[in-house]
Structure formats: C-alpha cells, structure tokens
Chain A
Amino acid sequence: MATPADSVLVIVLLLNFFVLGSSRIRSLIYTVAAQGLLLGVLPLLIHDSLGLREVVVSAGAMALKGIVIPRMLMRAMADLPIRREIEPLVGFRASLLLGAIGTGASMVLAYRLPVLTEGHEATALIVPASFATVQTGFIILTTRVKALTQVLGYLILENGIYIFGLVLLEAMPFLVEIGVLLDLFVAIFVMGIIINHISREFSSVSTEHLSALKE
C-alpha cells in the first residue's frame, strides 16, 4: 500500500499546508524548494524501468524547481525590505481551512474519475495529490498580496500540474517535458525581471501598490 511514491506525495501534501499557514517568505521559498526536490525524485520512484528520459526529467525538475528558481527568488528577496506576508486577503487559519477542504474535495473528485493507466498501483495518490496542489497554488495566488508570494503560488500551481504530468510521462513524454521545463523557466524568469522593476518603482514588492487600476 504505502509505496515510496505514496510517502513522497503525502509529504508534498503536508508541505502544501505549511505554505498555506506560514507568513515568512524565506521559509516559504525553502518549502517550495523542498517540494520541488521531492517532485524531482518522483519519476524515479514511479517508473520501474529507469530510462534516460526519466533521469533527465528528474534531474531537470530538481535543478529548476529545487535550486535555480528558489535561488533567484532568494536573491530578489535579498534586495528588498520585505520579509513577511503580513496582511493576506484571507487569513492564515482560513487559508489552512480552505486548503483542507480543497484537499478533501480533490480526493473525492479524483476517485470519481476513471483511472485510465493500467497496472500503476503505485500511483493511486497521484491524481488527488495533483488536484490538491493545484488548488493550494490557487489559494496562494488569489489571497496573498506580495508579488514574491504570488510567484510562489504560481510555482505550487505548476508543481501540481507536474504531478499530473507524471502519469503521462510514458505515453506522451514530449508534452510533459516541454510543459514543465519551458514554462517554469521562462515564466519565472520574466516574472523575476518584472519583480525587479516593481521593486525599483515602488521600493517594495507588494502588489498592494499595484492598485491604481480599478473601477
């Protein structure tokens, strides 16, 4: 029952809750980096036959999600006066509750959808974990006001999509690889540039300042 892949996914889910309940941006970045590293290990655990493909995706995901992007965010943070997400639109406890409800709903939804890949008992948790992580990313994206935290939310959303991609790694590797690596790297890179501009313009990276445009 509890295969190594399942244990890893459970830790990934727990990290989601940590992200939902924490305000210090530094520890948020570490958490997301840890999640990225864990996700990098997953392809190796799920697929019995270790081809070059699995190893490359694994290494790429670990390097990007676990090292390169967290470092970029750390560097962005070093230049800035902010250290905490102080006043999110939805409080930390409420976000935790939302996350719990979302995770439960993901489980129910995932078990109602048919399983189409045969003979992968090890992956029973993959689909619900993916839904729950996407959901967590959404909560962070919509309820936090600091630009950095929003980027972290986007990263978590991407992590959730990556988890789902693992089911398809054998059937359509191209889609998965291109999606995960290209998207993450380029999008975060451009967002990093913009964050720099925001910090120069407003000398604090909070999207609360970005509120001149509204009805």
Chain B
Amino acid sequence: MAMAIILIPLIGAALAFAVRSGAWRPALLPPFALAHLTASVMVVRSDASAGAWLRLDPPGRLVLLLVSVLFAICSFYAVPYLRLRRDRPNRVFCGCLLLFLGMMSFIALSHHLALMWVAVEATTLSSAPLLYFNRTGRSLEATWKYLLIGSVGIALALLGSLFLGYASLKSGHESSLIFEDMRRSAPGFSKPWLHAAFILLLVGYGTKMGIAPMHTWKPDAYGEAPGLVGALLAGGMTSCAFLAIIRVNHVVAAAGEGAFAARILVGMGLLSMAVAGVFMVRQRDFKRMLAYSSVEHMGILILGLGLGGVGVFGALLHMVNNGLVKGVMFLSAGNIHRAYDSKSTEEVAGAMRRVPVSGALFLAGFIAVTGSPPFAPFVSEFTIVNAAFGGDRFVVGGLMLLLLLVVFIGMGTTVLAVVQGTPSRAAMTTPFHDSLLTTAPMLLLMGLVVMLGLYIPPPLRTLLDDAVRDLAQPEVRP
C-alpha cells in the first residue's frame, strides 16, 4: 500500500514517455497527481508501512501531503501551460515531472539513511531536465550549475552518511542505518565523528535546500525554469531536503548533542536570511527575487528547527505555508513572464492591468510571504520569533525581525515595480491572457494560504502535533 505513492507516479511517468501525442500527453498529469494525492491521504491515515526501511514517520507524513497537494494543484496548471508552449516537445518534461513526484515521495517514505540519500540524489537527476525545458543557453547554464552544485552537495551528504555510519561503530549495537535504530543507539556514537557527520550532512542536504552559502544554484535555476517547475522546487523539493535535515538533526539530538547542532542551525538560518536580504535589494529580475525569497525562508525553517521547542512547531507549519505561498508566487510570476515575455522590472510594469488576476495574486503572495496577517506565514513566522524571545534569545529574535524587515523592503520595491504603473505597448500585444485554467490553481493555493492563516484544520493540527511530539523525544519508544 505504502509503495503506491512511489509507484503511481512512476507508472504515470512510464505512460508519459510512451504516449506519442504531445498535445494529449499533459492530460496525463492531473489524473496521476490526483491518484497520488488520494493514495497519500490513505497512507497517512492508515499509517501503512512497507517494511522497516520504508516507513512514513510523522514529519514525513507532513511533507508527503504538502508535496502531493502542491503537485496536484500545479498539475492542473501544467495542462494550459503546456498548451501555450506547444512549440516545445514535452515528452521529457511530463515524464520527469511525474518521476520527480515519485522521488520526492520516496524521500518522505524512506526511513533508512542510505535509501534517503538515494532518493535525494534521484530528485536531482529527475528535476534537471525540467530546468532545461526552454532549451536556451541561459537555461543550459542554470541546469549545469544545478547539476554540478547539487551533485557535489549530494556527494558531501554521502560522505556525511559514511561518517555517521562510522560513528555508530562505537556504540556497540549492531550497526543499523534505520533512523529509529540510530536514534536508539545514538548516545553511544563517537562524538567527534558525529559532529563531523552532522556538518557534512547539513552542508550536503543544505545545498539541496538552498541555504546560504550553498544557495548559488538557486537564483539561476528558479530564474530560468518555467514558473511551474520553480513552484515545485521551491515548495516541494526544498521541503524534502529540510525533512532530511530534520531526521539527521533528530539523531544528533538523540545522541545528546542537540546544543551543538542547534548553534549551527541558528547561525546558518540567520546567515541565509541576511544573504537573501542583501541580494534582494534592487533585484530587477522578479524570478530571481523569488529565489532569494526561498533562500530566506529556508533560513527561517532551519532557524526554527535550531531554536527548538515551539520553534519546531513553527518551522513545520512554516514549511507547509511557505510551500503553498511559493506555489502562488511562482505560478503568477510565470504568467506575468508569459504576458510580457520578460522577467525584468525594466520592461515589466503594470501587471495589475495587463494580467489582473495574476498581478493581484503576485502582490498578495508578496504580502503573504513577507509575513503579514491574515496570511498563514504570519502565524508561523510569529511562532518562530516567539520561540526566540520565549527562550531568552533576544539577539536572535531581534536579528530575525530586522532581517524580515530588510527583506520586506527589498522585495516590496521589485514587486511594486512589477504590478504598478502602465504596461508598455509591446506588452499589450503578446497573446497571453489570464484565463480560468491558468488562474484557478493559483486561487486555490491562495485560498489555502488564507485559510491556514485563520484556521488550522484539526487533521493538520494532529499531524503537526504528532511530528513535534515525535521530534521532541530523544529516545524512541521501544
């Protein structure tokens, strides 16, 4: 049963590669995405597992549902988008989209250090062709950087995994790389090797997540990829990488070295926010701006994880919120990009008039993503700031607020330049217009963002509480 969440997308991918008609192929995406969503909900509810290696732990459930919901909504956007881009062959694109979904589910499901590593590697490989959809020199450059930097990150994560395995030799238990066993025997691990392993794994998976200073692939990849792919990378893949870091951090905490890990996480979190703030100021390319926003929010996530306590709840909630808002922002940015055939504020102005729905959602997304009420990110960011002040970390809390403000101003300048003013004459003649099919997915995502800001439904609440409870206990129940 649990295997279905990996197999359904793989079957879909195989079909997508087999179908000959480029016009009909995208129509495969929504049914398989919905089937995956149904299977995911069932697996999460039934607590099914497929052996000790493939088990859905509580944080994994959250990530799986986020990825599945985001993908399902994006798949409906993909159909009109690919109809618009009929000039491009879409066989590889559709196939890899579904493969990518399968591999992200694989990360959520893998409960084994080596298996998880394989899954993360597989997401890199299956998403690289998505970046190269436009087949321009620039997208090639972005793909190359993504692949090279991502592979180096993955290689370091492998070295970190080996270190962690080596550290476990000292514990006296039979060496096992299943997370649950590792948490149980963690107190006996060799401390120096554990520290080295944590740093390597954080750098390795942090590269996939795009925290500073390993974020350099991000602006290029998000800038050149179709908005749809940006949404899936920024909302889905980064959350999966965060899940990997959560699991590693859990092992380190179970070894009694939580304080060591927390210091590094908080430091890296603040650094990411600062780097994002610096590069966001005067950013003319609005898709690259979104990439830096993603760097910022990944920083907030690991900051929340490092703060511990309520911060973990905040971080998990923020992961969900960020994923949904990034969906809105990347899809609307994609629409604006189509309408103007440019993604620079030098040529894009007046998006509110040219594409009213996309423009309005881009603006609303900006207000949401920077943490203004009543949108969902406000609640989660507030929780994390609260965790900082509640734990007497006044400097950390103060810095976080300051950096949020810097980002707000930096991002605001670019976003307002995009939506305000009057569109140029050239922009009025491009064929793209907002339609029901290209705007409804975004509206749905935005609806979820607003809802989560006002009200967290009980099932989600339970999932969050379970995950927090699971992560809070160093020893795993027998």
Which residues on the A side are within 8 Å of B121 (C-beta)?
Answer: 182-183, 186-187
- Distance in angstroms from B222 CB to nearest chain A CB is 11
- Whether the Cβ atoms of A165 and B162 lie closer than 8 Å is yes
- Distance in angstroms from B133 CB to nearest chain A CB is 13
Please tell me which one of the listed residues A117, A164, A187, A210 contacts residue B159 in the complex, with CB atoms under 8 A apart: A164
- Distance in angstroms from B284 CB to nearest chain A CB is 10
Which residues on the B side are within 8 Å of A174 (C-beta)?
Answer: 114, 177
Which residues on the A side are within 8 Å of B132 (C-beta)?
Answer: 194, 197
Alpha-carbon distance A141/B152, docked complex (angstroms): 9
Tell me the nearest residue of chain A to B128, going by C-beta: A190
Alpha-carbon distance A150/B138, docked complex (angstroms): 19
- Whether the Cβ atoms of A213 and B140 lie closer than 8 Å is no
Please tell me which one of the listed residues A168, A171, A191, A209 contacts residue B151 in the complex, with CB atoms under 8 A apart: A191
Name the segment of A27-35, A94-102, A153-161 touching the other chain.
A153-161
Which residues on the A side are within 8 Å of B148 (C-beta)?
Answer: 141, 150, 154, 191
Q: B193 near A: Cβ within 8 Å?
A: yes
- Whether the Cβ atoms of B158 and A190 lie closer than 8 Å is no
Q: A73 near B: Cβ within 8 Å?
A: no
Alpha-carbon distance A209/B177, docked complex (angstroms): 43
Tell me the nearest residue of chain A to B121, going by C-beta: A183
Please tell me which one of the listed residues B137, B155, B177, B192 contacts residue A161 in the complex, with CB atoms under 8 A apart: B155
- Distance in angstroms from B406 CB to nearest chain A CB is 17
Q: B434 near A: Cβ within 8 Å?
A: no
Which residues on the A side are within 8 Å of B152 (C-beta)?
Answer: 141, 154, 157
Interface size, B (range): 35 or more
Which residues on the B side are within 8 Å of A172 (C-beta)?
Answer: 114, 165, 175, 177
Q: B17 near A: Cβ within 8 Å?
A: no
Given contacts A116-B193, A141-B152, A201-B140, contact A179 B147 (CB under 8 A): no
Alpha-carbon distance A112/B196, docked complex (angstroms): 12
Q: B475 near A: Cβ within 8 Å?
A: no
Which residues on the A side are within 8 Å of B145 (C-beta)?
Answer: 210, 213
Please tell me which one of the listed residues A116, A176, A202, A215 contacts residue B137 in the complex, with CB atoms under 8 A apart: A202
Within 8 A of B (CB), among A146-204: 147, 150, 154, 157-158, 160-161, 164-165, 167-168, 171-172, 174-176, 178-179, 182-183, 186-187, 190-191, 194, 197-198, 201-202
Alpha-carbon distance A116/B167, docked complex (angstroms): 8
Given contacts A116-B190, A176-B162, A179-B117, contact A213 B143 (CB under 8 A): no
Please tell me which one of the listed residues B154, B166, B190 contacts residue A168 in the complex, with CB atoms under 8 A apart: B166
Alpha-carbon distance A186/B117, docked complex (angstroms): 14
Alpha-carbon distance A112/B192, docked complex (angstroms): 9
- Whether the Cβ atoms of A187 and B193 lie closer than 8 Å is no
- Whether the Cβ atoms of B114 and A178 lie closer than 8 Å is yes
Alpha-carbon distance A133/B335, docked complex (angstroms): 47
- Whether the Cβ atoms of B154 and A183 lie closer than 8 Å is yes
Q: B41 near A: Cβ within 8 Å?
A: no
Please tell me which one of the listed residues A176, A178, A186, A198 contacts residue B125 in the complex, with CB atoms under 8 A apart: A186
Q: A134 near B: Cβ within 8 Å?
A: yes
Please tell me which one of the listed residues A157, A161, A194, A213 contacts residue B147 in the complex, with CB atoms under 8 A apart: A194
Q: B433 near A: Cβ within 8 Å?
A: no
- Distance in angstroms from B138 CB to nearest chain A CB is 5
Which residues on the B side are within 8 Å of A168 (C-beta)?
Answer: 162, 165-166
Residue interface bits B183-197, CB-to-A below 8 A is 1, else 0: 000000010110010
Interface size, A (range): 35 or more
Within 8 A of A (CB), among B134-154: 137-138, 140-145, 147-148, 151-152, 154
Alpha-carbon distance A144/B420, docked complex (angstroms): 44
Within 8 A of A (CB), among B70-112: none
- Distance in angstroms from B92 CB to nearest chain A CB is 11
Which residues on the A side are within 8 Å of B154 (C-beta)?
Answer: 183, 187
- Whether the Cβ atoms of A113 and B137 lie closer than 8 Å is no
Which residues on the A side are within 8 Å of B125 (C-beta)?
Answer: 186-187, 190
Alpha-carbon distance A182/B121, docked complex (angstroms): 10
Question: Which of B113, B147, B177 has the largest count of A CB atoms less than 10 A from its CB?
Answer: B147
Q: A81 near B: Cβ within 8 Å?
A: no
Q: A123 near B: Cβ within 8 Å?
A: no
- Distance in angstroms from A186 CB to nearest chain B CB is 6
- Whether the Cβ atoms of B151 and A154 lie closer than 8 Å is yes
Q: B296 near A: Cβ within 8 Å?
A: no
- Whether the Cβ atoms of A161 and B162 lie closer than 8 Å is yes
Q: Which residues of B contact A (CB under 8 A)?
A: 113-114, 117-118, 121, 125, 128, 132, 137-138, 140-145, 147-148, 151-152, 154-155, 158-159, 161-163, 165-167, 169-170, 175, 177, 190, 192-193, 196, 219-220, 223-224, 279
| 29 A-B interface contacts by CB (under 8 A) | A113-B196, A114-B170, A116-B167, A116-B170, A141-B148, A161-B159, A164-B163, A164-B166, A165-B162, A172-B114, A172-B165, A175-B165, A178-B118, A182-B118, A182-B121, A187-B121, A191-B151, A194-B140, A194-B143, A197-B140, A198-B144, A210-B145, A211-B141, A212-B138, A213-B138, A213-B141, A213-B220, A213-B223, A215-B219
Counting from the closest, the 4 A-B pairs by CB-CB distance are A210-B141, A213-B220, A175-B114, A116-B169
Q: Which residues of A contact B (CB under 8 A)?
A: 112-114, 116-117, 134, 141, 147, 150, 154, 157-158, 160-161, 164-165, 167-168, 171-172, 174-176, 178-179, 182-183, 186-187, 190-191, 194, 197-198, 201-202, 207, 209-213, 215
A194-B132, A198-B144, A212-B138 provided; 14 other pairs, C-beta below 8 A?
Answer: A141-B152, A157-B152, A160-B159, A161-B155, A161-B158, A191-B147, A191-B151, A194-B140, A207-B144, A209-B137, A210-B141, A213-B219, A213-B220, A213-B224
